[in-house]
Amino acid sequence: MFEIAVIGTSWGGLSALSTVLAGLPATFAIPIVVVQHRSPDAAGVLAELLQSQTRLIVTEVDDKHPILPGHVQIAPPNYHLLVDRGYFSLTTDAPVRYSRPSIDVTFSSVADEYGRHAIGVVLTGANEDGALGLRRIVDRGGYAIVQDPGTAESPIMPSAALRAVPRAHVAALAQVAGHLVTIAPPRPPARDRVGAHLA
């Protein structure tokens, strides 16, 4: 039973994320956490753009905000995003391989916290961030999905992830959402949205 899906992407990420999130139902049962490399000046814009593409609730994470199902929660620029018992925790520790937020940092935190209940997804990107983190997710018993590099705007990041985790499930961009729904089935519609008032 999965409890969280964390998605890492860089160059080409906005378009790829739009495709994935548009394919998920509003009843998608587990929290989605997004780490997308971007300029520190772009605060807020990504969440707005993605919100127009999905029925899930998209927000940029504040420190100690709860991790919520039905939400897509985005790492803010210039902070690393960690998870701790149902909450996010931000740090301004040094960039890792020039990135803050670093996909590896968030993936590792999710791997250690959620173990086999974590899904890691690596999409398009022009650097190798995310490969080590995805390896860690799998090492802790979690599940790995990598965008088919052939369908990626920039294949470097998914290719690196596949080298690190050769057994990862490979999906064309258009199939990523469908695969997420298969392995993490949406909750029955009768269920309410506990926590939605916190949005």
Partner 1 sequence: MRVEGSEPSVGAGAPDHAREPARRREDRERRADRPPAISVSTDPSAPLSYDPELERIEIELLLEGIFRHYGFDFRSYAYASIRRRLWRRIEAERLSTVSGLQDRLLHEPALMERLLLDLSINVTAMFRDPSFYLAFRQKVVPLLRTYPFIRIWHAGCSTGEEVYSMAILLEEEGLYERARIYATDINEVVVHRARAGIFPLERMQEYTENYIRAGGMRSFSEYYTAKYDGALFSPALQRNVVFSQHNLVTDRSFAEFNVILCRNVLIYFDRALQARVHGLFYDSLVHFGILALGSKETLRLSEYETRYEELSAADRIYRKVR
Name residues contacting partner 1, limited to 95-114 (CB under 8 A): 105, 109, 112-113
Site pattern 131..170 for partner 1 (x: CB under 8 A): -------xxxx-xx----------------------xxx-
- Rounded CA-CA distance 100/75 in Å is 9
User: For the chain, how many helices (H) and strands (E)?
Assistant: 6, 9
Q: Residue 191 corresponds to which tokens in the numbers above?
A: 């269920």
- Rounded CA-CA distance 165/163 in Å is 6
Of the pair 100, 125, the CB lying nearest partner 1 is at: 100
Residue 37 bears catalytic tag: yes
Label residue 18 exposed, middle or buried (CB < 10 Å: 0-12, 13-18, 19+). Answer: middle
Tell me which of 20, 58, 67, 121 binds partner 1, using CB under 8 A: 67
**57 binds partner 1 per the rule CB under 8 A:** no
Whether 51 and 193 have beta carbons less than 8 Å apart is answered as no
> Residues in the site for partner 1, rule: CB under 8 A?
1-4, 29-31, 43-44, 60-69, 76, 79, 82-87, 89-94, 105, 109, 112-113, 115-117, 138-141, 143-144, 167-169, 182-185, 187, 191, 194-195, 198
